[in-house]
Amino acid sequence: MKVIHLCNLPLPLSHPDFRCINFHPGRWVLNLAIAQRSHAAIDAQLIMQVAGARNDFRTEIEGVPVHFVAAPDRLRSATLFIRDVRRLRKVVLKERPDLVHAHGTEDAYALSAQFCGKPYVITAQGCFFIINREMPPRLLSRERTVQFTEYLSLRRAKHVIAKSTYVRDELARAFPNLTIHEIPNTVDPRLLQIPVDRDRETGSLAFVGTVVPRKGVHLIVDALALVQSKDPEVFSRIKLSVFGDRPGHESEYETTCKKRLRDLLGERVAFHGTIPAFEVAKALSRTEVLLAPSLEEMFGNQFIEAVAVGADAIVSDGTAMAENARRLRAGRVVMRGDLLALAAAIREAVVSPITVTERIERQMEVAAFVGPETVAVKHRDLYASLANK
């Protein structure tokens, strides 16, 4: 079976526009395609639209064929992604797939899959009907427009993959027309080969993700300030690494958060920018704690990947990360937005780090829950049922 994944993934260094475009850091669809090709006899190929790129670019990443499609970066959401849908439909149909798998409703991918005339499924991620409810944007904004196009695609869809029970339940309430299949993201299999008994720097914390309000970076700053005021000795041990900031492309929010962190921690904070996910994982394998106090999160790859390499984690309740923390019996869950609870959890994690035995047990739980073969086979069975209808 040939499956085209419409998705985002990091641009490779070989892409001609690598240094010019602010690209998506997540590689979870690439992980899925690798798993499908290795364990499910699926000819998985990826197509990503690169808004602002000058030329199309084809390559192979870790054995997976990838087609980067160049597109203008103007008036996309304002025109309801119509030109994107036409462009992607043309590219997809040239590949003659058996099924199209669209990842996300926050851009043109879901709409494009629907207009290809092929069996299709949508993975719901970054759902704006949830995000905008939790963090309402301006009335006239891209976020509002994307919520409308998301509504159009989900209203006419039949089959959707939810990555968590949290998202499944939200979709079921908002779109009773959907048949929802709950399948988590898989991980890069190399993560499960990283030893979890490595030496870790005392007091080392990490944040992984884009520096945006939804990820709660401002909460990290405020909680660290509380630790400083309540327990200066513990605070003096803390070092923070930030992975996913965008030097030269910072928003006002990111600029403010980075300045506050520098003022607070001085040389004990390091900003690494957007680097390959495996490099982040290797860094986390020597870090004590992942900080992920997101205000909204629909799966939380950073949590799963941190636990896979033996790091402890602090996550917000009411998100899919908390759901996964309880499922894996890993991490510390705090009330969403509760600064006192977050500060207390940070202090506790620094003072009482988890044991090597706990790290090993948690890595085994991750392998059982989201191992590549397990997730690939679940997708294969779903694809077969859709292709035969």
pLDDT in tens, 212-261: 999 999 999 999 999 999 999 999 999 999 999 999 889 999 999 999 99
Total structural domains within the chain = 2
DSSP symbol at 19:
T
Average pLDDT, stretch 205-209? 97
pLDDT given for residue 139 in this prediction: 86
How far is it, in rounded angstroms, from Cα 306 to Cα 303?
5
Query: How many CB atoms sit inside 10 A of residue 380's CB?
Result: 18
In terms of domains, do 161 and 269 share one? no
pLDDT above 80: residue 23: no
Contact 121, 160 (CB under 8 A): yes
Reported as a pLDDT band with limits 50, 70 and 90, residue 201 is very high
pLDDT given for residue 26 in this prediction: 82
pLDDT given for residue 389 in this prediction: 67
**Where residue 269 sits, what CATH number does that domain have?**
3.40.50.2000
pLDDT given for residue 272 in this prediction: 96
Backbone angles phi, psi at 324, to 5 degrees: -70, -35
pLDDT above 70: residue 287: yes
Average pLDDT, stretch 195-223? 96
How far is it, in rounded angstroms, from Cα 34 to Cα 45?
9
Which CA distances in Å does 290 have to 6, 175, 236, 330?
A: 30, 34, 18, 12
In terms of domains, do 162 and 23 share one? yes
How far is it, in rounded angstroms, from Cα 183 to Cα 380?
11
pLDDT above 80: residue 120: yes
In terms of domains, do 262 and 306 share one? yes
Place of tokens 């030269």: 248
Q: Which amino acid is at 74?
A: R
In terms of domains, do 42 and 105 share one? yes
Q: What is the mean pLDDT of the chain?
A: 95
pLDDT given for residue 300 in this prediction: 84
Higher pLDDT, 248 or 22: 248
Range of the domain at 310: 189-370
Query: How many CB atoms sit inside 10 A of residue 214's CB?
Result: 15
In terms of domains, do 225 and 363 share one? yes
Q: Which two tokens stand for residue 164?
A: 């968590």
How confident is the model over 68-118, as pLDDT tens digits? 999 998 889 889 999 999 999 999 999 999 999 999 998 899 999 999 999
pLDDT given for residue 248 in this prediction: 87
How far is it, in rounded angstroms, from Cα 156 to Cα 102?
14
Burial of 239 (0-12, 13-18, 19+ CB in 10 A): middle
In terms of domains, do 173 and 322 share one? no
The torsion defined by the Cα of 64, 65, 71 and 75, in degrees rounded to 10, comes to -40
With vertex at residue 23, the alpha carbon angle to CA 19 and CA 24, rounded to the nearest 5 degrees, is 150
Query: How many CB atoms sit inside 10 A of residue 365's CB?
Result: 17
pLDDT given for residue 69 in this prediction: 97
pLDDT above 80: residue 328: yes
Average pLDDT, stretch 26-42? 96
In terms of domains, do 239 and 108 share one? no
pLDDT above 70: residue 51: yes
In terms of domains, do 160 and 299 share one? no
Average pLDDT, stretch 130-159? 93
132-164 in b/e form (b: 16+ CB < 10 A) is beeeeeeeeeeeebbbebbeebbeebebbbbbb
In terms of domains, do 333 and 345 share one? yes
With vertex at residue 334, the alpha carbon angle to CA 317 and CA 192, rounded to the nearest 5 degrees, is 75
In terms of domains, do 55 and 127 share one? yes
In terms of domains, do 207 and 308 share one? yes
Task: Look at strands 99-103 and 2-6 and give their pairing.
Answer: parallel
- Which residues does residue 59 pair with via DSSP β-bridges, in sequence order? 66
Q: Which amino acid is at 232?
A: P
How far is it, in rounded angstroms, from Cα 362 to Cα 303?
12
Determine what percent of the chain is predicted with pLDDT higher than 90: 87
In terms of domains, do 357 and 380 share one? no
